[in-house]
Structure 1
Amino acid sequence: MTTIQNKTEINKNVSEVYTFLSDLNNHEQLMPENIYNWSSTTDEARFTIQNMAKLALKVEDRVENQIIKLVPLEKAPFEVTLRWELQAISDTVTEATFIIDADLNMMMKMIAAGPLQKLVDFQVNKLKEVLG
């Protein structure tokens, strides 16, 4: 299993960050420009990654103010889970970690690891920007 992650500190309390991330409708704001055909509900999101694939994700697990775990709703090119882990640093600061666990063979790892790391980095930075 390949693990790709990044984290940031956000100047909001943990419940505000959790509330934002637990609704997949908000995740469109965290996506890079190469994501299009976005549609979502609170629990599911569907989108296309330019020149790559269509993806559908659903919330598999929520632990209030701690974890939001997403898994593919339909067959994906490889087994993958996406997870936001939240930790209260103080009443007004939250550490948010975005983790992608992907079951990549060596060939897929060479192709996908870079773009997945860019996605993780982009979303973490965008979350900090959006929630400021």
Structure 2
Amino acid sequence: MTIIQNSVDIEKPIEAVYAFLADMNNHEQLMPNNIENWSSTEDEARFAIKNMAKLALKISQRIVNKEIVCVPIEDAPFALTLRWKLEDKGINTTNATFVMEAELNMMMKMMASGPLQKLVDYQVNTLKSILG
């Protein structure tokens, strides 16, 4: 299991950060510009990564003001779980950690780890710029 993660402190109450992340419609704003054909509902999102793969994700678990878990609902290039973990840091500050858990063989790990880390970093930083 390969685990890729990053976290950021956001100057918003945990309820506001959770409400944003709990709606898959908002996740389009967190995506880099190589994402196309986005469609979403509150619980699911479908999109293509330009010249790479198509993904369909759904929120499989919501723990209010703590965690949001997304998993693929169709065949993905590899087994994948995405987690947003939230921690209340007090006085309108929330720590948001984005964790990507991926089943990557050695070859895929060598090829995909860098781009996946860039994606995680991008989403965390974009979340802070939108909400912070």
- Tell me how many residue pairs correspond in the alignment: 132
Hey, what's the Cα distance between the residues in 2 that align with 1:130 and 1:28? 12
What is the aligned partner in structure 1 of residue 60 from structure 2? 60
Hey, what's the Cα distance between the residues in 1 that align with 2:86 and 2:43? 18
- Which 4+ runs in 1 deviate beyond 3 A? none
TM-score, with normalisation over the residues of structure 1?
Answer: 0.99
What is the aligned partner in structure 2 of residue 84 from structure 1? 84
What is the aligned partner in structure 1 of residue 128 from structure 2? 128
TM-fit CA distance, 1:111? 1.0
User: What are structure 2's unaligned runs of at least 5 residues?
Assistant: none
Hey, what's the Cα distance between the residues in 1 that align with 2:91 and 2:23? 22
Counterparts in 2 of 1:18-97, with a 5 A limit? 18-97=18-97
Hey, what's the Cα distance between the residues in 2 that align with 1:52 and 1:7? 26
User: What are structure 1's unaligned runs of at least 5 residues?
Assistant: none
Hey, what's the Cα distance between the residues in 2 that align with 1:92 and 1:117? 28
How much identity, in percent, do the aligned residues show? 63
Hey, what's the Cα distance between the residues in 1 that align with 2:113 and 2:52? 14
TM-fit CA distance, 1:91? 3.1
Hey, what's the Cα distance between the residues in 1 that align with 2:88 and 2:46? 30
The CA RMSD over aligned residues, in Å, is 0.5
TM-fit CA distance, 1:51? 1.3
Helix, strand or coil at the partner of 2:86 = strand
After superposition, give the CA deviation of every residue in 1:63-100 in whole Å (9 maximum; x if it has no partner).
00000000001011110000000000003000000000
Amino acid at match of 1:105: N
Amino acid at match of 2:59: V
Amino acid at match of 2:69: K
